Amino acid sequence: MAKRKPKMKPADIEVQKTFCATCPWRETSPVAFLRHQLTISALTESNRICHSTGTSSVLYPKGTGKPDKICRGARNEQLAMFYAQGFIDAPTDEAWYDKVEELRKEGVKI
């Protein structure tokens, strides 16, 4: 399958390409203890926004000056689960975007 830029609507939020410097999914992260709870939230509630981006976060209550992005670590957990369940063909962003495109063509609002 050839790599392609995902088709995203303007309201879609970009995903971090890599873990941020203090991402809980980094082995050396001082907040790695949050990984379990953040994984549960990412799998049952919604996408997690990277705490190093956006208009407001625990670390930067006045904002970071960067646009919101989805946490790379949380997205990796989502991809692994969706793949294990057979919902997507591979645990990759490309497979996720393919599924989103398929669902949108079927009229599902995402």
- Give the pLDDT confidence of 6-22 residue by residue, as tens digits: 555 545 789 999 998 88
Q: How far apart are CA 40 and CA 62, in angstroms?
A: 27
Q: How far apart are CA 42 and CA 59, in angstroms?
A: 19
Task: Please identify which residue in the block is written with the tokens 């379990």.
Answer: 36
**pLDDT (0 to 100) of residue 51:** 80
Enter the pTM of the model: 0.80
**pLDDT (0 to 100) of residue 91:** 97
- Give the pLDDT confidence of 40-79 residue by residue, as tens digits: 999 999 888 888 887 766 667 777 778 889 999 999 999 9
From 21-30, 52-61, 85-94, the region with the lowest mean pLDDT: 52-61
